[in-house]
Structure 1
Amino acid sequence: MKFNDLLLGILVLLGGIAIYVSALGFTDIPGQAYGAGTMPRAIAIFAGCLGLFMIAKAAIAGTRMPRLELSGWVRSRRSVLSVVVALVLIVFYIVAAPSIGFVPASLVVMAVLMLTLKTRPLTAIAVSVLACVVIQQAFGRLLLVPLPRSEFLEFLW
């Protein structure tokens, strides 16, 4: 789908406002100058400014009516299948990760998505394994984000 700048600017502005409002409920960390809402608020402000810029640019260019056009990829079965597979994998991760853990669930998601996008099998598996371990270590160990744990891979972490 193709959006013109006016419609996309409105969507980005509304998204920025929604992120900012939802981040207002995040609590501050005692003794810290920043809290859990700092980055979401910063991203929301950036998105709001970007949305306003896009709206102003479209208004100066004389764009009148927000228009929605279907792009060429929508006519391709392979592209539509890739989007459907991506959406199914997101649902799979949401459902499966709490019970089987982050590493197995994300490994399946990344490998299947790469294979759907015609990546060589050996490359897809190698990159999936490496990415899962790096993401788990970065978020689980360094940033202390509680990722879903796996009962049968407990020995790794």
Structure 2
Amino acid sequence: MRTNDKVTGVVTAAFGAAVIYASLDLKNLPRQDYGAGTFPTVIGGLLVLFGAILLLRGLGNREEWLAWQHPVPLMHFILTLAAICASVVAYVYLTPVVGFPIVSFVLLSLLLYTFHHRRWLPSMGMALTATAIIWGVFGQLLHVPLDLGLLEKVIYS
């Protein structure tokens, strides 16, 4: 199914507004101008902004709101959903032991290979890039603790 930009824009903006509303109760840190609600509020504001842009863009065309492109086989949908759920479970259980960089790289490589490229080199390249960006933004810039697992002994020995 393909949705018009009007639908996507409204849903995105509504989700952004809900994120902003939910982050209003989060308290500021002591002696800080910002707190736990800062990051979600910024993300929510960007979702509202980009949702509004999509909505305005969608109002300019005369496409149908929803259009079926081609049917998705039920078994393909179930296998895709199962693979994503299994990846989340594997991430939760393997990350403390093996570490974020290895688990993230392996899971993203497998998912990209399976669902998108069907070639290992591009899948692994994109997985490595995504893992590095996530590590840089969350681990280094935002100081979110990401487990090193096995790499901790290698890096700190």
**CA distance in structure 1 between the partners assigned to 2:129 and 2:16 by the alignment:** 33
1:29 maps to: 29
TM-score in terms of structure 2 length: 0.66
**CA distance in structure 2 between the partners assigned to 1:134 and 1:57 by the alignment:** 30
| Unaligned 5+ runs, structure 2 | none
1:65-84, CA deviations, whole angstroms, 9 ceiling, x for partnerless residues? x9433334x5479x858954
8 Å CA contact 2:117, 2:123 repeated in 1: no
8 Å CA contact 2:113, 2:123 repeated in 1: yes
Question: Residues 76-115 of structure 1: matches in 2 within 5 Å?
Answer: 83-84=80-81, 85-86=83-84, 88-115=86-113
Question: Residues 19-58 of structure 1: matches in 2 within 5 Å?
Answer: 19-52=19-52, 54-55=54-55
**CA distance in structure 2 between the partners assigned to 1:7 and 1:114 by the alignment:** 27
**CA distance in structure 1 between the partners assigned to 2:7 and 2:133 by the alignment:** 38
| Unaligned 5+ runs, structure 1 | none
How far apart are residue 59 of structure 1 and its match? Answer: 6.5
**CA distance in structure 1 between the partners assigned to 2:133 and 2:61 by the alignment:** 45
| Cα distance change of structure 1 residues 62 and 147 upon mapping to structure 2, 3 Å threshold | same
| Cα distance change of structure 1 residues 135 and 45 upon mapping to structure 2, 3 Å threshold | closer
Query: How many residues get paired?
Result: 152
| Cα distance change of structure 1 residues 118 and 7 upon mapping to structure 2, 3 Å threshold | closer
1:139 maps to: 138
Which stretch of the first structure deviates more once superposed, 53-62 or 13-22? Answer: 53-62
RMSD of aligned residue pairs (Cα, Å): 3.8
| Cα distance change of structure 1 residues 42 and 138 upon mapping to structure 2, 3 Å threshold | closer
| Cα distance change of structure 1 residues 6 and 128 upon mapping to structure 2, 3 Å threshold | closer
**CA distance in structure 2 between the partners assigned to 1:134 and 1:58 by the alignment:** 31
